[in-house]
Chains A and B, each alone.
Chain A
């Protein structure tokens, strides 16, 4: 079958490309070309496979050799195909971008290895979403984590990078442990590692075991996705990595965790208890709100984007939680709506987050800093980059009719349907979640406004920013592709939604494709509850804008546009008179100080008169709440246990041989019985 052939090619080409790129490490330009051409081609193959699976149906491919863990097979059904498509589209754009971006590292770091690891990373993600055997999955999961670890520590001479990478490695292994434990428990019930045997096994499980699995997988996949409080690695690892890698990690790697959450809950376990959905909803609300709050006060562009990823994962989990709640009450059609909203946001976020990270990388390349307090005025010096970053910011802030808005609209509509739930307490708590989502949206708009405004607008705040130049063409192509998709996926969303329904209907047991889209309108439920038509909104906006432009030309045409200085109240205009990022977020910082707990210090140089100040020093930092109250004590506890256990490490070889002897004797005795 064509699909099988394509898939086999898809796996082997990047591996081959990785090897060649590693071998060509000595010749940076050649290895960059090879590596990213290979990844572009394979991501296009990935897109082709996605389209074929949606068109023709599920695909299954088994590795030709047997293993002690059952046949190692790959299955791509609609759900896997959707995630494969998302991963591939983003990887294609990032590959285009990387042609220009990797040149930046020439001579400083081994670029060949970057290209090689990039390909391995992509292939491991593909295999993660297509594995249908638990052991194969774990191997691929681990490969994904390791390859991303090596990519994160790529700039290893940079301060703090290796530490962030190691922290990431530890957190992802804690997650993998939880996931693996869950799979082992399921294997104990089903006798096979193949995913297709898991749903049947789940039928026979006790409620306690099912709940345990729910929690294990929530923790395990949540650590990878970056839910609060397991998110601490995200703002350290994503900024430390090279920007094209950050784009991939933030936009698609965290989505593989979401993919597995959907598969584990809807496919394997089957959602029956409302408290599962409410738990995921609660986790989502907390992650969304705290993520965006921390994003708002950041001055480092990439750290801000990393926190925004935490926020968007929270939003995706809110939608997933609502879907689970509906499903557990048997409201399958509403669950389908919520699931479609969740998947739509997965796609939207992948598109705009990769675009934003690529933009941040361009800014970093051009100005050598990612601190927005030292930037500014880039809109005139880097017009294309700023325009595309602007599209990404608009989509993140949910401005109609872009894709970010459509997915948020769908999530709101799904939550509005909560009045159909029979249980009143749940009915009251979902509007509270709706309020949380609303405040998250408003704060996200503020955060992206700050990032775009301080970085790109007004005057440059440093010499680096003043001398910035536009980036190479390949980077612009990559960003341009994502920007175009942000707009198109929003305006043409009515074509994508039926495909999403194909993904959700086997999971929730109901298909709403027929009623969901009417012509060019999206009608979420029967009974005319609401409707929206994204292309009409776009048409209305464009038409009205043209009309306004024309009419104001007619009426105000004689007025010229004169360029002059900004009104400066008599003081000279410098970088210090502009608003700073920290100042922009200050009112919110003060209003929500119970979240941020700022630690403020103020020192002034002494002078005989208290009215004359010659030097003042003010610092304000937010308290690292999670590090201090959760990770710190945990780490201390682990050290304490380790210290106690280290007693057995006496250093004398006799003791170690003695241990072996004792254990051997015990084993023999036990086996006798």
Chain B
């Protein structure tokens, strides 16, 4: 219980750092200096101090959404193992986590429609379209991991895989990981699905939905999106490749777990930055090509588990 709380607070505290790191890496690949890795922290602090402007056409949904989104990611973070496999697994499993993210997406999309501007509506409609194909991919990847490790409980999967060495590794695991990686890019508004640093209405999905928020509402929305990205990376690290995670709450184990997760997160940040820098954002109606590739990867993962 206590470990879950500590891990959650760590995730919340570190998420702006990893967003800043990805931005810095992208800048490096694009030949720029880039802002400091700590820049997102300064941004959030600045936003918290400002007034919030709320549209007079908006209803209570607009003001409630930032809090709901933050609540959803924190609740999800409670169930995700970071350095050690003990977490609040009895509250919910991986499917609950996916649906908590779904709750966050639902409220964000509603807030996009609430202000009555075309940008918000467009962002909402595109977000729901992308999620329609990404959700089955994620659920099938989870299914594959559940088949491989024998449980859908997050800490259970980490524990089973980490403590049995490489015995349970199948090709299905890597296919599922590839599918999940593409889904991470789609769900967290990364190139090639969406550009996280643009403010041109024709190219936004996520940015369009949060366009009307300001002040501490915007701070909460940004922070919850950063935390969502970090959670996806942690899930990739600790569910698909959990070796190194602590399983028995010893000091040495915790230290090893911390080192392992930091290393894996750095690798994933680098991978995301590489992919973002080397590809262009795809047209909206070309996205089904990419997303169906990830869906067939996850379907292949399940099939190959049974036939290979």
Contact = CB atoms under 8 A, between A and B. Distances in A.
A touches B (Cβ under 8 A): yes
Q: Report the interface size class on chain B.
A: 35 or more
A260 B20 CA distance: 59
A467 B222 CA distance: 37
A530 interface: yes
A586 B103 CA distance: 22
A interface majority secondary structure: helix
B51 interface: yes
Interface in A521-563: 521, 527-533, 536-537, 540-541, 544-545, 548-549, 552, 555-556, 558-563
A584 interface: yes
A584 B67 CA distance: 25
A558 B49 CA distance: 7
A662 interface: no
A537 B75 CA distance: 8
Nearest to A387: B60
A470 B134 CA distance: 39
A379 interface: yes
A428 B211 CA distance: 43
B91 A532 contact: yes
Contacts of B125: 579, 583-587
B210 interface: no
Interface stretch (B150-158, B231-239, B266-274): B150-158
Interface string A482-510: 00000000000000000000000000000
Nearest to B129: A587
Contact of A529 (B129, B151, B288): B151
Contacts of B109: 449, 453
A412 B113 contact: no
B215 A556 contact: yes
A435 B140 contact: yes
Interface string B72-106: 10110010000000001111110110011011011
A552 B71 contact: no
Interface residues of A, number: 82
Contacts, number: 257
Contact of A536 (B90, B115, B128, B131): B90
A559 B74 contact: no
Contact of B117 (A531, A578, A583): A578
Given A431-B299, A548-B71, A585-B125, A459 B57 contact: yes
A458 B52 contact: no
A254 B189 CA distance: 41
B216 interface: yes
Nearest to B62: A457
B250 interface: no
Interface string B256-296: 00000000000000000000000000001100100000010
A139 interface: no
Interface string B49-65: 11111111111110100
Nearest to A458: B116
B81 to A, nearest CB: 15
Interface in B218-241: 219-220
B122 interface: yes
Nearest to A292: B132
B129 A591 contact: yes
Given A548-B71, A559-B50, A445 B102 contact: yes
B52 A409 contact: no
B306 interface: yes
B147 interface: yes
Nearest to B299: A435
A564 B55 contact: yes
17 contacts: A386-B59, A400-B96, A428-B303, A435-B295, A442-B134, A446-B129, A453-B110, A459-B57, A530-B153, A532-B92, A537-B91, A564-B53, A566-B212, A568-B117, A584-B113, A585-B125, A586-B125
Q: State the 9 A-B residue pairs at the shortest beta-carbon distance, nearest first.
A: A579-B121, A458-B116, A556-B216, A438-B136, A446-B128, A453-B113, A379-B59, A442-B135, A566-B55
Interface of B: 48-61, 63, 67-68, 70-72, 74-75, 78, 88-93, 95-96, 99-100, 102-103, 105-106, 109-110, 113-118, 120-122, 124-126, 128-129, 131-136, 139-140, 143, 146-147, 150-153, 156, 211-212, 215-216, 219-220, 284-285, 288, 295, 298-299, 302-303, 306-307
Interface of A: 376-377, 379-380, 386, 394, 397-400, 405, 409, 412-413, 416, 419, 424, 427-428, 431-432, 434-436, 438-439, 441-443, 445-446, 449-450, 452-454, 456-459, 521, 527-533, 536-537, 540-541, 544-545, 548-549, 552, 555-556, 558-568, 573, 577-579, 583-588, 590-591
